[in-house]
Structure 1
Amino acid sequence: MWKFLFALQQNLIWSIPISMIAGIIFGLVVDPSFLKAGIIPLTFLMVYPMMINLQLNKVFMGGSLRLQLVTQLINFGIIPFLAFGLGKIFFPDQPLIALGLLLTSLLPTSGMTISWTGFAKGNLNAAIQMTVIGLIAGSLATPFYAKWLMGTVIEIPLLDVFKQIVIIVFLPMLLGFVTKQVLIATVGESKYNKNLKQKFPVFSTIGVLGIVFVALALKSQSIVSHPANLLTYFVPLILIYGINFILSTVVGKALFERGDAIALVYGTVMRNLSIALAIAISVFGTQGAEIALIIAMGYIIQVQAAAWYVKLTDRIFGAPLPEVEMS
């Protein structure tokens, strides 16, 4: 069973589309309205496990302040406005889809930021700091950005957004911290790191697949009626990720050494699509399913692009220096 679940987690490029297709088929065969009752449990399942491994203490362990400032400048000073502009161009008459595109840009970093930085032999400590800072800053900034940029074309319930962010981000963050401390005190830190730590992201993946399934099931009739719409969602997503990769690579090569530059790339390009999904589904009710469509499609591009970038990392930044053995 665990092998199957780990396979789902490690192959999101396939498991997300399969979940999308299954949701569409289910929604066409069965009245999917009862699935709304599963949104809150699935949202909790998606967010809470990822918070257990969040290394909050790493934020205060030093590192390059300039690297963190440049990272967050890209995350909050450039990418959201790029997404907003592309939303205006591609979806002038579809504000919900444009909002979904904006949400994908407002919540930077995820657990995969750390993983991909490690695969590419980048600065892991910097990536961990970016992940925590990006999650907290993005959660606090999202309501204001959404209200400021989209408030004239769609009602953004600012107070409701804040309430839901507290419920789906900060409450699980607190519970995750407590859970981690209890587990370490119970089984020991060594056993926690060896046997338990790697299993929590699997449960988050189940939550993600469940939310995607529900969102697609609820919108199945509309999707089947206008199937070409889904294809149009790919173009602005590809543009956002492509421009983001190029910008972060150029800035990283110009300003930082190899390890920091790699962390910068993955700390700005990887988006916390799980939190974006949770906000879309929990805040916007029936409209949330439509917003969630473009967010779910972001997984397909993000995972594939990140994997290819790892393969190209040595060509872009040069090979890592060999570790010096201490005698």
Structure 2
Amino acid sequence: MSTTQTAARKPEGGAAVVGRLSAVDRLLPVWIIAAMALGLLLGGLVPGLNSWLEAVKVGDVSLPIAVGLLVMMYPVLAKVRYDQAGSVLTDRRLMVTSLVINWFLAPAFMFGLAWIFLPDLPEYRTGLIIVGLARCIAMVMIWNDLACGDRESAAVLVFVNSVFQVIAFGGLGWFYLQWLPALLGLPTTSANFSFLAITASVVVFLGIPLLAGFLTRWLGERAKGRDWYEAYMLPRIGPWALYGLLFTITLLFALQGGTIMARPLDVLRIALPLLVYFLVVFGAGIAMGKWLNLGYAKTVTLAFTAAGNNFELAIAVAIGTFGVTSGQALAGVVGPLIEVPVLVALVYVALWARKRYFTPAMIAAPPMEEKHDH
């Protein structure tokens, strides 16, 4: 789904969808690779860039990066039809499956991968486990939209994940870093998570763009009607999602470029379990959605909300608990550096699977449910 397109969608194959994308969106992987390279170049060539980026923060996240994330999130959330989002809560199959994957299976899988791949590196291992506990509330909206997922379902699942993050993050951290390792006879890690940092991450990176997106749609539709809003307004604000994404990626790589260059083997060791995690969890989400007959749009939404992680929160918690130069913080930073290119690739995998494994009826809407036009 093009970031510049309106909310209208029609059931069609993945190749047709890719063919309809604008030139900018068709070359998205190229722009992302270019943003990564530019970030690394800036980080290596501009003296004091790290200090400047870290000078002002929102919570424990650099202010320029926070701005990029908000710019990235706002257009996607302005596309959501909020009057239809409530029906998602009545889809018990989607809601229960999402909660099980996000809060039971995915964290447990990351715990296992961390111990399998990093048994001798406790700091990186702890950082990976924290990444696994931080469920995605930001970039997943971008990947879901590009893959023609269900926007309303994505908005609701992101909101539910946010609530669970505030409530459950600290308890799950204790469970996976202390109780379960002790039960298995493994070394434990002591960590006190900041409730304030978790809440701030949710409020800033979901609350602000969610409110802005809702108000933009509500005011636009009240003034001019839905047809005008989706045909005129959305195409004008839509491209800013891509601009925000590329800006954020550039700054992330600039901020950590020196560390990546100085410790490439460490980065590789952290990257391997992350790669396995993203691929397996995404594949499990697709398989479970297909098995439950959720239809393509909700299936891909389930997969992306399960595979993505809230790197803003993971980095903030790791820095706040263990320090900015800690191995835990490095593992948190490597998370989005691997997640971004992998999930971009999975957008194209999803569009391919749309044509290969989903019937036209399943692409149009899940059976036996009243659906809106995509």
Short-chain TM bin: 0.7 to 0.9
CA–CA separation in structure 1 for the residues paired with 2:300 and 2:333: 23
Q: How far has the Cα of 1:111 moved from its partner?
A: 4.5
Change in CA separation of 1:42 and 1:253 when aligned onto 2, cut-off 3 Å: closer
Q: How far has the Cα of 1:101 moved from its partner?
A: 4.6
Structure with the bigger percentage of helix: 1
Matches of residues 22-61 of structure 1 in structure 2 within 5 Å?
22-30=38-46, 31-32=48-49, 33-36=51-54, 37=56, 38-61=64-87
* AA in 2 matched with 1:177: F
Tell me what 2:156 maps to: 133
Residue 103 of structure 2 is aligned to residue 76 of structure 1: yes
1:16 to 32, 35, 38: 32
Change in CA separation of 1:316 and 1:238 when aligned onto 2, cut-off 3 Å: farther
Change in CA separation of 1:309 and 1:322 when aligned onto 2, cut-off 3 Å: closer
1:150 to 173, 180, 183: 173
CA–CA separation in structure 1 for the residues paired with 2:308 and 2:360: 32
- 101-110 or 11-20, larger mean C-alpha shift: 101-110
CA–CA separation in structure 2 for the residues paired with 1:28 and 1:139: 35
Q: How far has the Cα of 1:86 moved from its partner?
A: 2.0
- DSSP-derived class of the 2:123 partner: coil
Residue 351 of structure 2 is aligned to residue 295 of structure 1: no
Matches of residues 1-327 of structure 1 in structure 2 within 5 Å?
7-30=23-46, 31-32=48-49, 33-36=51-54, 37=56, 38-61=64-87, 64-91=91-118, 92-94=122-124, 95-103=126-134, 109-117=140-148, 127-150=150-173, 152=177, 153=189, 154-256=191-293, 260-271=294-305, 276-280=310-314, 284=319, 286=324, 291-318=332-359, 320=361
CA–CA separation in structure 1 for the residues paired with 2:226 and 2:79: 12
Q: How far has the Cα of 1:235 moved from its partner?
A: 2.5
- 103-112 or 299-308, larger mean C-alpha shift: 103-112
Change in CA separation of 1:278 and 1:210 when aligned onto 2, cut-off 3 Å: farther
Would you say the 8 A contact 2:136–2:311 is kept in 1?
A: no
CA–CA separation in structure 2 for the residues paired with 1:156 and 1:96: 13
CA–CA separation in structure 1 for the residues paired with 2:72 and 2:223: 24
CA–CA separation in structure 2 for the residues paired with 1:237 and 1:322: 30
* AA in 2 matched with 1:255: L
Tell me what 1:124 maps to: none
Identity among equivalent pairs (%): 19
- DSSP-derived class of the 2:245 partner: helix
Q: How far has the Cα of 1:307 moved from its partner?
A: 1.1
Change in CA separation of 1:282 and 1:10 when aligned onto 2, cut-off 3 Å: farther
Tell me what 2:60 maps to: none
Q: How far has the Cα of 1:201 moved from its partner?
A: 4.0
CA–CA separation in structure 2 for the residues paired with 1:106 and 1:8: 25
Change in CA separation of 1:253 and 1:25 when aligned onto 2, cut-off 3 Å: closer
Q: How far has the Cα of 1:26 moved from its partner?
A: 0.9
Would you say the 8 A contact 2:137–2:309 is kept in 1?
A: no
Q: How far has the Cα of 1:137 moved from its partner?
A: 1.1
Change in CA separation of 1:218 and 1:289 when aligned onto 2, cut-off 3 Å: farther
What whole-Å deviation, never above 9, does each CA across 1:177-236 have from its counterpart, x for those lacking one? 112222333444322211221343422322222222222222222111112334334422
Q: CA RMSD in A?
A: 3.6
Would you say the 8 A contact 1:248–1:264 is kept in 2?
A: no
What whole-Å deviation, never above 9, does each CA across 1:64-106 have from its counterpart, x for those lacking one? 4334323332233322322233234334331334433543668
- DSSP-derived class of the 2:310 partner: helix
What whole-Å deviation, never above 9, does each CA across 1:251-304 have from its counterpart, x for those lacking one? 334332xxx243443122214999824435666475667623322321211121
CA–CA separation in structure 1 for the residues paired with 2:305 and 2:295: 17
- DSSP-derived class of the 1:156 partner: coil
Unaligned runs of 5+ in 1: 119-126
CA–CA separation in structure 2 for the residues paired with 1:191 and 1:34: 42
TM-score normalized with structure 1 length:
0.78
Q: How far has the Cα of 1:22 moved from its partner?
A: 1.4
CA–CA separation in structure 2 for the residues paired with 1:204 and 1:138: 21
CA–CA separation in structure 2 for the residues paired with 1:61 and 1:142: 23
Task: Report the count of equivalent residues.
Answer: 310
Would you say the 8 A contact 1:55–1:132 is kept in 2?
A: no
Unaligned runs of 5+ in 2: 5-21, 57-63, 178-188, 365-374
* AA in 1 matched with 2:134: L
